[in-house]
Structure 1
Amino acid sequence: MGAGPVATQSNGAHAPNYEKFLDPKRQWYNNRRIITLHAWIVLLLITSSVNGFDGSLMNSFQSLGTWEKYFHTPQGSTLGLLNAIQNIGSLAAYPFAPYLTDGIGRRLTIWIGAAIMLVGVALQTAAQNLNMFIGARFCIGFGLTFATNAAPLLVTEIAYPRYRAQLTSLYNSLWYSGNIVASWTTFGTQYIGNTWSWRIPSVMQGLPSLFQFFLVLLAPESPRWLIAKGREQEGLKVLAYYHADGDDQDPLVQYEFEEIKAAIQLDRDSAKNIGWKSLVTTKGNRRRMIIIVAIAWFSQWSGNGLVSYYLSKVFDTIGITNQTIQLLITGILAIWNLFWAVLASFLVERLGRRLLFLTSAAGMLVFFTLQTICSARFAITQDTAAAHAVIAFIFLFYAFYDIAFTPLIVSYTVEILPFSLRAKGFNVFNFTVSVALVFNQYVNPIALQNIAWKYYIVYVCWIAFEFVFLYFMIVETKNLALEEIAALFDGENLQEHITHPTEVRADEKDFNEKASA
């Protein structure tokens, strides 16, 4: 792309090294073991649905008369606390999440998170007052941190190499699946004239966690985690069972096994790769953390926070106050978002991360600027056409947001982090997201109440800065395996350490004979 010194280090255009070991007959639709693996991965992907469910839930509740009446129409800082308390709960769990993920394993950490969230969902459904509702949301956020710290790591570490990038990108894209269920459930329950209009959607929030509570311990554990814990044969068995129909001598399995062992051994041999300090001790790691913290903050501070949690307040500023219309637009927007996010997830290896990020930022800047102009026009002239244009520009803004800042922020974060730093670095990502959300959720309602559309100008300037940052900092990782990506940040010296036995590098004839057997 020719953007700067960081970007030009990318060599993601070439075919990945593992490509020569892939059996062309082994596809996602015709191999029973890969189909089973993808079923387990779906169980992990729905972790994101819980988070998306909550984002839409609070938006929908603010358009629901029975909820507003029951809790005495929260406003200003109280409303900010209601929206922010889940993320405050998440913040409270961050000091513990990476130690559980690395210590007891990915699966058990997800199970603990699911169990805590089920308790929170039960309390929220049974809430009798505002304090009980707030406490329940804190509990949901606390459990969510454990699940969201471990689930995407497990997805990216067990996925079949050919589908790793797409599946990991789908993780955050399925945020909108929860968003859709919450939006349309609340759209239907609005006609219930009692508290079940909001208690039923609250119950629905627990469904993904319920599935994980009963099933996730039966899923495969990360082979990288098993190998790092000295359980090499178990790790090899997982790779063989799901990636090669149980053949532990398959060229692909041997390639993955040796590459993982070499990368983990390299981390162990280097004292600088131990502990939290290692996140910033090397030039490569500092670059990683700058990018990770930036995209985490951008993901919540690009104007989307206004729509995700305060869409009803945005509607009020443009004169759309009807409850049914507000809920209908919220539900349609959720479906629109899911479409674009999933589409982008399947294109990440074809188009590349860098192109998607830059296109996303440019499109957001254009349409958020137009949204600001039309909001100002409505505020000054009460022109209904301007109000309708705002809705159209919100949809177009989100189409561009969704092609990068929904699918890529999680997948890009976990793939640029080496195994030894993955849980801790991803925890920093989640922490930054929560801080940005808490800040947004306190500031946005107050700013909207006091300066209305003028607040949008702040985001216009910020999105312009995002584009410049992404242009110079995003490194292309297209068509690279997890262990290979490290060389983009740590230099070519690392590549010399990640070598593979001669017997793994089977010649084409031997491989074709084995593949056809």
Structure 2
Amino acid sequence: MLKKTPTGTWMPAWVPESTFMLCMLLLLSSVVQSATGGYDGSMLNGLNILPSYTNYFNLNPATRGLNTASVFIGGFLGPLVTGVIADRLGRRPAIFWGSCLTIVGIILQTASQNIAMFVVARIILGFGGAVTGIAGGVYLSEVFPSRWRAWGVGLLNDFYYVGALIAAGITLGTGQWQSTWAWRAPSLFQGIFSVLCIFTLPFISPESPRWLVHQGLFEEARITVAQTNAHGSMTDPIAVAVFKEIVDTLRWEKEQAQSMSPLEILKSPIARKRLLIGMSPGPFSCIAGNIIASYYFGSELDTAGITDTNDQLKANVVLNVWCLACCLVGTHLAARWGRKPTAMLSQTLLITCLFIIGGLSKLYAADPQGASSSLVYGNVAMMFLFQGFYSVAWTPLLYLYPPEIMNYSIRANGVAFSYFALNAFALVFTFIMPIGLGNIGWKMYMINASWDVIILGLIAYYWVETKGKTLEEIDAIFEGEKHSSVPDIEILQRGEKELDIDLVEEQLKPDLRLATGRNAAA
């Protein structure tokens, strides 16, 4: 049963009464960016293997890198405005308009006649993807109840491999076509996720309660909190406590003169600390080593001795199935074990794999003709293990961790800055990786493993744990105190304390009266 819900924006919402069903639909409405991004990476993996694509554009290592990396130019530019858009228009409208831009880029990419057109199309695609990705990550983190947030937001990026698997299957199927549609058809299918998002988003999800409270729309926010935490019951203790935490914390931020300006992320030492820790998953995940397998898996297999085009396309399909399974395991670990331990485990395994891959690739490069089959397949097995270990932590944490670390005033702009940094690194690394593999081969793995050791040390020293806390309760880690008098939500859920609902309602009255007065004056 769907119920119309006020959103405070031009976009309506009809949501189910069941909290569980609502959370499932919330996830469906926001997976567009990760599915599109995963499809893009896997599709380019397949296209870079296809002669019909490389010959059509007459690609060399530099232009191949430009065609592939151009999506990150848009991803580099998108974050410059996305935080402001999401704060001013609302989280859901930002996702909607980002999806529209993504479709425009996909249409132009499919119709490309030369490298210049292909590059421009991918810049637009990357821009739209950045808007939906940033707004989607912030939106889900602010709407999902804390007990399901790890799964809800973590799965957002896990769908990367759903898109990747679909793309791998499509490129395998079209790879035998003797026309440019061998690469144009996979490109066109990339628009499926954005179209699905546009048609479903207005009907299945409410607006962020944090955004609504900040706009002074307290009643609308309270309805949303009740729907996402207590099946619509506005008197449920958990729903009342969550709403009180949001109201108290955002009032405190306004009293501290924290604005929604992009410069707020640099204004105070605490904001800068939140920014540096929160943005770190972007660059860390980008330079961990997966750029090679995400976009240049064919070149990676070449270094291991597997050069047949059809064998490489099949390996691409199997790789994405394996990575999907691993990222689901990683999401479970992040929810049950914690964000920081999961990241440290994954990073340690990545370092081990890279050193082994580098060593095996060196042995193969020394004598390609005399290399044993066990050496070749051992190298491929380590490549698969590496991608799986990467997926355990970095796939879910890339979207889950940044919005948890940022407080409301800097969340949208801080997450945008995180993806700005991610795409800046990705733009450079996707361009230089094919050149590096071509020039120094196995040594690229050794270099990559060495800087991964530094990343592991930074995670161990600087990261903080956010498991089991609401976004407002995380403030105590950075500021030394919680800005609301209600008990922590996890304590209430365990039954260790009871909430005095009448007292909380009395404490909320001044805020509700003030908001009512502002709305009447407006």
TM-score normalised to structure 2 length = 0.87
| Alignment match, 2:99 | 114
Partner of 1:307: 293
Please say if residues 34 and 160 of structure 1, whose CA atoms lie closer than 8 Å, have aligned partners that are also in contact.
no
Are positions 1:491 and 2:480 aligned together? yes
**Distance 1:31-1:344 versus aligned 2 partners, 3 A rule:** farther
From 342, 365, 369, the equivalent of 1:356 is 342
Distance apart, 1:277 and its partner CA: 3.3
Pick closer, same or farther for the CA change 1:481–1:276 going to 2, 3 Å: same
Output the CA distance in 2 between the equivalents of 1:464 and 1:379.
Answer: 25
Contact 1:45 1:152 in 2 (8 A): no
Say if 2:314 is the partner of 1:325. no
**Correspondent of 1:41 among 27, 31, 38:** 27
Distance 1:268 1:509 in 2: 29
C-alpha distance in 2, partners of 1:87/1:426? Answer: 16
- Contact conserved, 1:367 with 1:396, CA < 8 A, in 2? yes
Q: Select which of 113, 127, 130 maps to 1:128.
A: 113
Contact 2:23 2:152 in 1 (8 A): no
CA distance in 1, matches of 2:458, 2:23: 37
Cα shift readout 1:233-275 (whole Å, capped 9, x = no counterpart): 1111112234323221221111111110111111111125553
Cα distance, 1:223 vs. partner? 1.0
Map 1:33-72 → 2, pairs under 5 A: 33-72=19-58
Provide the residue aligned with 1:265 in structure 2: 251
Q: Which residue is equivalent to 1:285?
A: 271
Following superposition, the deviation at residue 433 of structure 1 comes to 0.7
Deviation at residue 67 of structure 1 after TM alignment:
1.3
Distance 1:509 1:427 in 2: 37
The counterpart of 1:369, out of the listed 325, 332, 355, is: 355
Greater CA drift, 291-300 or 179-188: 291-300
- For residues 498 and 262 of structure 2, what CA distance do their matches in structure 1 show? 44
Amino acid at match of 2:95: I
Amino acid aligned to 1:282: S
1:149–1:426 Cα contact (<8 Å) kept: yes
2:213 is aligned with 1:224: no
**Residue in 2 that maps onto 1:436:** 425
Change (3 A) 1:293 1:242: closer
Measure, in 1, the Cα distance between the counterparts of 2:91 and 2:249. Answer: 19
Pair 1:148 & 2:139 matched: no
Q: Which of 437, 447, 470 is equivalent to 1:448?
A: 437
Structure 1 range deviating more: 178-187 or 235-244: 235-244
**How far apart, in 2, do the equivalents of 1:378 and 1:240 lie?**
60
**Is residue 49–residue 176 contact of structure 1 (8 Å, CA) maintained in 2?**
yes
| TM-fit CA distance, 1:405 | 1.0
Contact residue 33 and residue 132 of structure 2 kept, 8 A: yes
2:509 aligns with none
Structure-2 separation of matches of 1:371 and 1:509: 53
**Map of 1:462-481 to 2, 5 A cutoff?**
462-481=451-470
Deviation at 1:87, TM superposition (A): 0.8
C-alpha RMSD over aligned residues: 2.3
Distance 2:170 2:132 in 1: 24
Which ranges of structure 2 fall in alignment gaps of 5 or more residues?
1-15, 502-522
- How big is each residue's C-alpha offset from its partner over 1:199-251, in whole Å with a ceiling of 9 and x where there is no partner? 11111110110011222123211111111111111111112234323221221
Counterpart in 2 of 1:346?
A: 332
Amino acid paired to 2:476: A
C-alpha contact (below 8 Å) 2:214/2:250 kept by paired residues: yes
Q: Measure the CA separation in 2 of the matches of 1:161 and 1:41.
A: 14
Alignment partner, residue 85 of structure 1:
70
Distance of aligned partners of 1:66 and 1:230 in 2 relative to their CA distance in 1, 3 Å threshold:
same
1:256 to 235, 242, 263: 242
Q: Structure 2: how far apart are the matches of 1:398 and 1:152?
A: 23
| 2:148 alignment partner in structure 1 | 163
C-alpha contact (below 8 Å) 1:315/1:326 kept by paired residues: yes
By how many angstroms is 1:505 displaced? 8.1
Which residue pairs with 1:390 in the alignment?
Answer: 379
Q: Deviations over 1:434-457 (max 9, x none)?
A: 011011012111111111112222
**Alpha-carbon deviations, 1:308-364, whole Å to 9, x = none?**
111111122222110011111111111111111012112322111121111111101
Q: Deviations over 1:91-146 (max 9, x none)?
A: 22222111110000011111111111111111111222222222211111111111
Please show how residues 183-202 of structure 1 align to structure 2 within 5 Å: 183-202=168-187
Question: In the aligned structure 2, how far is the partner of 1:500 from the partner of 1:444?
Answer: 51
The CA distance in 1 between the partners of 2:364 and 2:500, in whole Å, is: 66
- Structure 1: how far apart are the matches of 2:389 and 2:223? 41
> What is the SS of the residue equivalent to 1:484?
coil
Give yes or no for the alignment of 1:419 onto 2:408: yes
Q: 1:402 aligns with which of 391, 396, 400?
A: 391
Contact 1:354 1:476 in 2 (8 A): yes
Separation (CA, whole Å) in 2 of partners of 1:486 and 1:409: 20
Relative to the length of structure 1, the TM-score reads 0.88
* Closer, same or farther: CA 243–272 of 1 in aligned 2, 3 Å: closer
Distance 1:59 1:409, change over 3 A: same
Deviation string, structure 1 residues 153-210 (Cα, Å, up to 9, x no partner): 1111111332112211111111111111111110111122212211111111101100
**Partners in 2 of 1:437 and 1:391 — Cα distance?**
24
Indicate if the aligned counterparts of 2:79 and 2:416 stay in contact, CA closer than 8 A: yes
Q: Which residue identity is paired with 2:393?
A: A
Distance of 1:257 and 1:281 partners within structure 2: 27
**Alpha carbons 2:333, 2:342 under 8 Å: kept:** no
Cα shift readout 1:463-513 (whole Å, capped 9, x = no counterpart):
111111111112111211111011111223xx2x32239xx9899898899
Asked if residue 236 in structure 1 is aligned to residue 222 in structure 2, the reply is yes
Structure 1 residue ranges without an equivalent (≥5): 1-29
- Structure 2 CA distance for aligned equivalents of residues 380 and 305 of structure 1: 25
Code of the aligned partner of 2:127: F
Identity over the aligned pairs, expressed in percent?
Answer: 31
Distance of 2:353 and 2:75 partners within structure 1: 32
**Residue-pair matches, total:** 479
